[in-house]
Amino acid sequence: MRDKTAIAGIGETAYTKRGGMAQSEMECACEAILKAVDDAGLKLSDVDGLCAYSGERSVLQEVAQTLGLGDLTFTNLYPGGGNSAAGVVGNAAMAVGTGTAQAVVAYRSICQGQHPRFGQARSGSGVAAANLSGLADGPRAFTQPFGQMSPAQMYAMDAQRHMHVYGTTSEQLGRIALASYANAQRNPRAVMYGRPLTMEAYLAARMIADPYRLYDCCLESDGACAVLVTTTERARDLRRQPVLIAGAAQGMEKGDGPDKMRRPEHLWTSAGMTRVAKDVYARAGITAKDVQVAQFYENFTGQVLMAIEDFGFCGRGEGGAFVASGAIDWPNGRLPINTAGGNLAEAYIHGLSLVLEGVKQMRGTSTSQVKNAEHCLVAAGPTAPPSSALILRRFR
């Protein structure tokens, strides 16, 4: 279904640090959806499908009722957290491409100041909620007694392994954080706008889970965003320049899963996205050489570095040298990344804001616009699989 569907509208609330949002999470979700529909030049009555993350608290049924939507022919939840960012858009595109629905909105609302923090360790904690028994269940029964209680601790082990095997350094991880913060200084919407980061400050920051320091970790934010997907044929006649969905992919590699202790050895130095990368390139009919800008889901810097390798922008183990060379820096790098600031410096809206930035790049409206960009990769992972990815293409 290459180029048969398109993103016709995007919408977002203001983004704040954790606890800074006056509106409820549901109000944020509705605001973002309303803005996406208006951006496309459509009416709420035109929306006949909704996609959201499986952990979304602004649930589909309540959103539809609150907004007074008409009959829905498609509803969908993508399993997981940040791995869902491209997946919800891909599922919306599948619904539109098969004729199941005509206009589908994918959205994410998250107000961490109003609910338990996603990164907070608590007995029995899972993606959606704590186990009411107060006991660690499933794989957590084997990890929490040994002190692995937070995402930072979990993903730090992958980074340590990459450093051990390939000689990756903290300074190289810092280049990813610095690139995101530099881009945020050009984006007035970013939570970290006006707060530039230096390598000295990065290295001096407190350790969270070795090797991850404070600035290796994503923000905790409040806000919401949404995208509207319809057919390319319909989108070409709407208000805004459509952005083509050239390719979408999702999935997980053999042996991967939330229980990292049972992963195959090769996945300890990977973001677990090599299969997704192969599929999304094939479906878009391009290779890594054709991508001019990318938005990588960065819960932590090391996972970005490994995803860069998975998607073929450099060889395995070469990610450290790649980012240190300036390749990810705007405006002159080979592959500017996270050009609005990403999860590290714009806002942590569980990665869906990365899709919105990809749309802005293809429209030519980004605050860190990459000149003559024709393709943008959005890579959503490597939180608990299945991961997902999109190739967005400029409409001509």
Take residue 88 and report the two structure tokens written for it. 């919800």
Take residue 84 and report the two structure tokens written for it. 């869902």
Asked if 53 and 350 touch (Cβ cutoff 8 Å), the reply is yes
Of the candidates 53, 166, 202, 348, the residue annotated as catalytic is: 348
Of 272, 290, 305, 260, the residue nearest 389 (C-alpha): 272
Dist CA 140 CA 186 (whole Å): 41
List b or e across 256-277, with b for residues whose CB sees 16 or more CB atoms inside 10 angstroms.
bbeebeebeeebbbbbbbbbbb
> Is cis: bond before 336, omega within 30 of 0?
no
Take residue 264 and report the two structure tokens written for it. 């195959």
- Torsion sign over Cα 285, 289, 293, 295: positive
Q: Which residue has the tokens 């450093």?
A: 163
Of the candidates 166, 212, 281, 297, the residue annotated as catalytic is: 297
Take residue 167 and report the two structure tokens written for it. 């000689």
The alpha-helical segments, DSSP class H, found in the chain are 25-40, 60-67, 85-97, 140-143, 151-166, 170-184, 199-204, 232-235, 274-284, 301-310, 319-324, 342-345, 352-363
- Which residues have CB under 8 Å from 149's CB, separation 6+? 121, 122, 143
* 181 noted as active-site residue: no
* 297 noted as active-site residue: yes
- Which residues have CB under 8 Å from 63's CB, separation 6+? 26, 29, 30, 33, 50, 52, 69, 107
Q: Which residue has the tokens 């804001």?
A: 353
Dist CA 233 CA 3 (whole Å): 10
- Which residues have CB under 8 Å from 237's CB, separation 6+? none
Q: Which residues are catalytic?
A: 297, 348
